[in-house]
Amino acid sequence: GESVGLHLPTLSVQEGDNSIINCAYSNSASDYFIWYKQESGKGPQFIIDIRSNMDKRQGQRVTVLLNKTVKHLSLQIAATQPGDSAVYFCAEKAQGGKLIFGQGTELSVKP
Amino acid sequence: KAGVTQTPRYLIKTRGQQVTLSCSPISGHRSVSWYQQTPGQGLQFLFEYFSETQRNKGNFPGRFSGRQFSNSRSEMNVSTLELGDSALYLCASSKGLAANTYNEQFFGPGTRLTVL
């Protein structure tokens, strides 16, 4: 069935370094992807999205890269800060508009 | 503008009981989606309601059901609770325009259900 998976369950980085979180998806027909951030005790919060007709999209301190050839996307966070510590999910828009989420990567930022 | 609210925030039930969770979407949003979040399975889509009708459904047994009221508020019900139903249940609202397109979803804080 459809699935979206993450390569690493945990990621620990030093404050100020760049972070890269990876995600693999299985449905080559997927045309829209989203990254969410979930802090403890809160629901997921939208970070950035990308459509399949793009390879790269930049936001404030974040960049999403999409490689359709290998069905892989990544989230890059520049100059990681303690406030970036959270669980990050990639999500794929499936048929009908519902979201299929990956397992999540926990990002820990060391001061 | 108030965000998505969910009640109760925490709930403890025993096996065999049933439970009803409530979600109030952002004002003006007509779509409400429900997700189950567990450490093992991650975030899984349960169902989506739009204008009081179920528009989309995930792969969960019939013990999981929902409904939406005319004011867009939604409830989900789980009957005959099992230990494996322990999870964080998240509700997300969106404008819900066109079923097969993506409308940004705004999530509530969730209801933490523990089944003993």
pLDDT tens string B19-43:
999 999 999 999 999 999 988 788 9
What are the φ/ψ torsions at residue B71 (nearest 5 degrees)? -90, 15
Residues of A in contact with B45 (CB under 8 A): 98-100
Dihedral of the alpha carbons of B44, B50, B99, A66, in degrees to the nearest 10: -40
Judged against a pLDDT cut of 60, whether residue A5 lies above it is answered with no
Report yes or no: B15 and B81 within 8 Å, Cβ to Cβ.
yes
For residue B92, what are the β-bridge partners? B33, B107
Q: CA nearest B97 in A: which residue? A: A97
Residue B52 CA neighbour count, 13 Å, CB half: 3
At residue A83, the pLDDT reads 96
Rg of chain B's alpha carbons, rounded to an integer?
13
Could you give the CA distance from residue B10 to residue B111 in angstroms, rounded to a whole number?
6
Which of B105, B106, B111, B112 to mutate to test binding with chain A, by most A CBs within 10 Å of its CB?
B105
Judged against a pLDDT cut of 70, whether residue B99 lies above it is answered with no
At residue B42, the pLDDT reads 86
Q: CA nearest B105 in A: which residue? A: A46
In whole numbers, what is the pLDDT of chain A averaged over residues?
89
Could you give the CA distance from residue A52 to residue A30 in angstroms, rounded to a whole number?
7
For β-strands B31-38 and A4-6, DSSP reports them as unpaired
Please report which confidence band the pLDDT of residue B2 belongs to, taking 50, 70 and 90 as the band edges.
confident
Look at B100 and A96 and tell me if their CB atoms are within 8 Å: yes
Could you give the CA distance from residue A55 to residue A8 in angstroms, rounded to a whole number?
22
* Distance from the A100 Cα atom to the nearest Cα atom in chain B, whole angstroms: 7
Report yes or no: B53 and B74 within 8 Å, Cβ to Cβ.
no
* Three-class SS state of A84: helix
Residues of A in contact with B55 (CB under 8 A): 96
Amino acid at site A103: Q
Q: Which residues of A71-91 are buried (b: 16+ CB within 10 A; e: fewer)?
A: bebbbbbeebeeebbbbbbbb
Which of A53, A47, A76 shows the shortest CA–CA distance to A64? A76
pLDDT tens string A26-77:
888 888 999 999 999 899 999 999 999 999 999 999 999 999 999 999 999 9
Give the count of beta carbons closer than 10 Å to the beta carbon of residue A20. 14
